[in-house]
Amino acid sequence: MHSVLFHPDHRLWLLRGPTSAYAIRLAEDDSVRNVHWGAVLTLDQAVTLAERVSPAASSFEAVAGVDELAVEGGARFGPPSLVVRFADGTRGVQWRYEGHDVDGGHLRIHLRDRHYPLHVTLNYRVHGDSDVIERWTNIENRDDQAPVTVLRCDSAAWAAPHRTHYRMSHLVGGWNSEFQVRRTDVPVAETVLTSRRGMTSHHANPWLAVDDGTAGEDHGEVWSTALAWSGSWRITLHRDPVGRTTWTGGFGHEGLTWSLAPGEALETPVFAGLYTPDGFGAASRAWHGHVRGQVLSHPDETRPVLYNSWEATGFDVDEAGQMALAARAASLGVELFVMDDGWFGARSSERAGLGDWEPNPARFPSGLGPLAAEVRRLGMRFGIWVEPEMVNPDSDLYRAHPDWVLHMANRDRTEMRHQLVLNLARQDTAEWTHAWLDRLVADHDIDFLKWDANRPFTEAGWPGSGDPERLWIDQTRAVYRIMDRLRADHPGLRIEACSGGGGRADLGILARTDQVWVSDNTDPVDRIGIQHGFSQLYPAQVMSAWVTDSPNPATARLTPLRFRFHVAMAGVPGIGGDLTTWTEEELKESAELVAAYKRIRPVVQHGAQHRLRGDGTLTGVEYVRDDDHVVLAWCPTRAFGHAPAPLRLAAVRPEAVYRDLDTGATYPGAVLLQSGLPLCLPRGDHASTLVRLRRVH
């Protein structure tokens, strides 16, 4: 089946996925308009669709249909996707169609302005096994003399079909409270979701879903989109007074302008979209499949159980202490030992040393070699924490190169966490950064980098640059290039994306990393909600989750070790507590729980995830891979005399029978679907359980 079809008589394109279709056509003015995003259609059916025009047409209201890339110009009054100003002061674009080409599932529609040599290509890419549509835009100034000022250049605009009601779902939060799902009516207004921080941010994530207000986890139409960008971004959702709901998104934020020099081109990041008729759960599973199939570099690998030293040592890092922690970690079945902050320069606190990436000679008198060798002798891989994009003013690097940071003339340099941001848009700064990372990885055969970024941009300028605000784009792309070069030169290297927790989680960073540190908050009760939001877009195999000490360092909440492990097992668990203080009983139980996770890991990391909700505070997840099902259930609190009812599963077959691999009990699938799985939960608060089921043939 061809995934991209064209009808020349109607100037209409149809993009088809396994269960959905997307149709666009050229209008009389050569603008590209959306006519369908929903259930599967044939090409003949698609040509019968009429463009959506406003029923409130008047001399004050546009009658045009829904643009695929809205511009200034003509009777368009909604949020534009592309805003340019030419050298003579003219703004806006008038389109002329220049043809199209198709390469497999990649459609390119070529446009230009009718009066100026500005060329734009709208890109669409579909994959045969997915309903996700990837979209992005190329813009090129072919004038040989005059620049073009770009005030906004989004990747794509999307439109929901006409419905009587609209609801939006998005993710909000802050440090230690990332990925909180919010569902609310779409107001008759423009709603802007954005990060102005130079990072994806803890406070919003570039994912947006729209439904008609009736969709649930397993039913209802959902239209969702995700932007693959790790810097500042903006998505503008617009519902007009007569009900048309559209949104446009891309990199940058309001107030920025970029200059497109003669002959220069700019390519936007991918803004991908997905339609599903089967609810938020089906949408998540489709996104998870897209991440595995089209984003991750190593989707078939099994992520290891790691130990991280941060909560055990803080900045008090030395060779003997790390070796002692490594020995205990290895005894628990840990596969990757990661030394965190404090190993380099004068880094005895967050105030100094960042940027001086040589092992502290007092703490590591023979360098990192002995520790790396001991970690490998214990049967583990060796990883290390780095923060390549930042510098302390109290460092040799800053004293030598104060001009290497983002700054503006005649403005104070704001410190956050006693740090400034290195200007990686500068070639010399970027080359120096790549060089020390390359040397660190090569000299010690590093297996894993925990790549952190602990502050947003401030005074994001570059004195002397002819186009200083381009660094909002170029900084992020420089990070991408450094990561890409490291991975190409060191194929065994794996990277975890971190930004003070979940401040950098998006499809752009996942294209060059392997997992994401979701939050600095490791409290298992809080993590249930954080992980629920994270799973709306991202699969379990990229979700790093630690088991740490009790009381929890962030919340002081006391929770059982079993509960902490069961919450972390929903993703890629690590251990981050101070193992030197854990009792023999805790160490023994931890080893048993690590072994239990390794038994379920293939299903959790590579299976399909179904979110479950029981009565009261009982929630859970069900992972399915072939005939194997893994159920993790958590009940943080419950009233006396109110034990949770059995938990209804979502992915078993009603005609099949399933055996509990640990107890031998069998259950008809129809009973698991309708009445639920009986759970053996401990008494009291913070109760949890793990159940392994296998279909009986």
562 is in an annotated binding site: no
Going by C-beta distance under 8 Å and a sequence separation of 6 or more, which residues neighbour residue 285? Answer: 608, 609, 610
User: Which candidate in 67, 447, 452, 549 is catalytic?
Assistant: 452
The reply, when asked if residue 454 is annotated as ligand binding, is yes
Residue 75: the pLDDT is 83
Listed residue (690, 465, 648, 380) closest to 564, CA to CA: 690
Query: Helix/strand/coil (H, E, C) string of 255-306?
Result: CCCEEECCCCEEECCCEEEEEECEHHHHHHHHHHHHHHHHHCCCCCCCCCCE
What pLDDT is stored for residue 76 in this prediction?
87
Active-site position among 113, 278, 520, 526:
520
- Please tell me the predicted confidence (pLDDT) of residue 360: 98
Is 341 a known ligand-binding residue? yes
Nearest to 306 by CA among 501, 584, 577: 577
627 belongs to the catalytic site: no
Give the pLDDT confidence of 276-306 residue by residue, as tens digits: 999 999 999 999 999 999 999 999 999 999 9
Task: Encode pLDDT of 165-176 as tens digits.
Answer: 999 999 999 999
**pLDDT score for 248:** 98
Q: In this structure, are residues 345 and 396 in contact, taking their beta carbons and an 8 Å threshold?
A: yes
Write down the pLDDT at residue 182.
98
Is the separation of the CB atoms in 272 and 133 below 8 Å?
Answer: yes
Q: How far apart are CA 331 and CA 579, in angstroms?
A: 11
Confirm or deny that 385 is annotated as ligand binding: no
Q: For residue 613, which phi and psi values (nearest 5 degrees)?
A: -135, 125
| Six token digits for residue 594 | 């690590």
pTM check: above 0.85? yes
Contacts of 424 (CB under 8 A, 6+ apart): 389, 430, 433, 474, 475, 478, 479, 482
Q: How many residues does the chain have?
A: 697
Scored b (16 or more CB within 10 A) or e, 506-529 reads bbbbbbbbbbbbbbbbbbbbbbbb
Residue segments in the chain with a per-residue pLDDT below the cut of 70: 1, 52-54, 62-64
Confirm or deny that 146 is annotated as ligand binding: no
- Catalytic residue at 520? yes
* Residues 653 and 695: beta-carbon distance below 8 Å: yes
Residue 268 contacts residue 136 (beta carbons within 8 Å): yes
Q: Note whether 19 and 40 are within 8 A (CB).
A: yes
417 annotated to a ligand binding site: yes
pLDDT value of residue 57: 72
Q: Is 635 annotated as a binding residue?
A: no
Which pLDDT score, from 0 to 100, does residue 615 have?
87
CA 296 to chain centre: 11
Q: What is the DSSP string of 356-397?
A: --SB-TTT-TT-SHHHHHHHHHTT-EEEEEE-TTEE-SBSHH
Residue 505 φ then ψ, to 5°: -130, 115
